[in-house]
Structure 1
Amino acid sequence: MPAVSRLSVNVNAVAMLRNRRDLPWPSVTGLAAIAMEAGAKGITVHPRPDERHIRKADVFDLAELIEERFPNKELCLEGYPSPDFLRLVEEARPEQVLFVPDDPDQTTSDHGWDFSKDTGQLETAIAASREWAVTVSLFCDPDPAAPEHAARVGAERIEIYTGPYGACHDDPGKALKELGRVAATAEAAHAAGLGVNAGHDLTVENIPALLARAPFIREMSIGHGFTADALIYGFAESVNRFRSAMGEI
């Protein structure tokens, strides 16, 4: 029996390319379908308020695609828990929501929650999401103290920000140090009973070392690195390449 995939393909970059023209291609749903047919666990999107890449309409199209054609796959919505975003979660009912502490103008998510001041807002958003039967994950810095706080406010999973690890692609010594921080955070989350996800600047080159240190990571959300790989190899083959790096095929 084939291994259950850890790979959730983030298609924000597909939408960003599409939005350069008033045309329906490249198709967000079409490429998402190719990724899932090839074995990806699901699809991740981050619909920002200005819709500079993923649009609200894309969210509903992807939810419909998964419901009708891929009922064993998952849609993960990533976003800041504003009233508008929470309404979108309630209406779309994804399998998972990842709350990130992003300013609307940020280019990408680049830091985890500050649990010393954000707990009230998170508790409210988490309680609402769980009423809608949506699994909640919180974006955390690679800090072994973070998972305990995430569990305390009611999260079921965390996603560890792996950007600092990915940024060390040309510095093996520094990469090893950052890998240690990620692994320690994953171990703390596992000990706290949380599911462990990881995401940001993960590639076929740096994934094997990560999983060797933290084999219980259950999901990796990959967008930029996956899309760069797919420009060379194609969406379906890049799914194979990433799943191979994860030791699944």
Structure 2
Amino acid sequence: MPAKLSVNLNAIAMLRNRRDLPWPSVTNLGRIALAAGASGLTVHPRPDQRHIRFSDLQPIRALIDGEFPQAEFNIEGFPQEDFLRLVEEHRPDQVTLVPDDPAQATSDHGWDFRKDRELLLRVVGRIKALGLRVSLFADGEPDREALSIAREVGADRIELYTGPYGGCHADPAEAVRLADRLGETAAVALDVGLGVNAGHDLTVANLPMLAARIPHLAEVSIGHGLTADALEYGMAETVRRFRRACGQTV
């Protein structure tokens, strides 16, 4: 089955936040994306609210519940207490935990599963007690011991950090090498009992090769590249383009 597409709304929110105005509407563009066949919406509410604001979460939850009940809401972030309270209040279908420093510009590395085992054990257990799926951000290294720890702490999935793969857009040979490596990592993750998501700097151009290397890829979460394309093609057509790149029939 082709990977599902979750549209990350952060870049839209960042554009809105340049002015003290309600447009572009994060919720309305989310509605267009879901109507065009996106399987879900992703947000990353950072402590400084520099893109997604905490006040965006309830309208997005209401949009999905009221108009697209088959879609999923994915909230990602570092598991500090304020973030966990947002999760408890808005009950996303999936929580993606990332090891970000609150001040960094964007997610750029996966968890150190050995070092962070006890933190993740505690936090994942708290989230799982709510009945929510948990995904952990992971580097693209086929480290069986590390991925086994991710499973042992209770995660359902990992999200492969694909930033380096997306970053070698001008180096086809390196792209192939990294896609092969991500495929190896995904195979190990599946073998230890984890589902596999992927995200970061994925585009219509590089998605097909990644999907070919990870035939059981569950979901891709895409924001920057998708938003950039939406400026050119419109949100609905962009979602269809990305769905086709995932291997979906549109």
- Contact 2:113 2:147 (8 Å CA) reproduced: no
Pairing of 1:200-211 with structure 2 (within 5 A): 200-211=200-211
Does residue 174 in structure 1 map to residue 147 in structure 2? no
**Which ranges of structure 2 fall in alignment gaps of 5 or more residues?**
none
* SS of structure 1 residue aligned to 2:230: helix
Moved more, 65-74 or 141-150: 141-150
Alignment partner of 1:87 out of 71, 85, 108: 85
Deviation digits for residues 32-81 of structure 1 (CA, Å, limit 9, x no counterpart): 00000000010000000000000111111111111111110000000000
Deviation at 1:119, TM superposition (A): 1.0
Does residue 22 in structure 1 map to residue 20 in structure 2? yes
Alignment partner of 1:43 out of 34, 41, 65: 41
Match of 1:32 in 2: 30
* SS of structure 2 residue aligned to 1:114: coil
Match of 2:226 in 1: 226
Deviation digits for residues 108-138 of structure 1 (CA, Å, limit 9, x no counterpart): 0000001121111111111111111110000
**Which ranges of structure 1 fall in alignment gaps of 5 or more residues?**
none
Match of 1:214 in 2: 214
- Contact 2:3 2:247 (8 Å CA) reproduced: no
* SS of structure 1 residue aligned to 2:247: coil
* SS of structure 1 residue aligned to 2:178: helix
Equivalent residues, number: 247
Partners of 1:179 and 1:148 in 2: CA distance? 21
- Contact 1:5 1:41 (8 Å CA) reproduced: no
Structure 2 length-normalised TM: 0.97
Structure 1 length-normalised TM: 0.97
Deviation at 1:5, TM superposition (A): 5.9
Partners of 1:148 and 1:168 in 2: CA distance? 29
Moved more, 46-55 or 117-126: 117-126
Q: Percent same amino acid at aligned positions?
A: 59
Partners of 2:196 and 2:44 in 1: CA distance? 19
Does residue 122 in structure 1 map to residue 120 in structure 2? yes
Q: RMSD across aligned C-alpha pairs, in angstroms?
A: 1.0
Alignment partner of 1:74 out of 51, 72, 75: 72
Partners of 2:22 and 2:124 in 1: CA distance? 34
- Contact 1:5 1:40 (8 Å CA) reproduced: no
* SS of structure 2 residue aligned to 1:81: coil
Pairing of 1:91-110 with structure 2 (within 5 A): 91-110=89-108
Q: Structure 1 segments of 4 or more deviating over 2 A?
A: none
* SS of structure 2 residue aligned to 1:112: coil
* SS of structure 1 residue aligned to 2:231: helix
Match of 2:153 in 1: 153
- Contact 2:3 2:217 (8 Å CA) reproduced: no
- Contact 2:2 2:218 (8 Å CA) reproduced: no
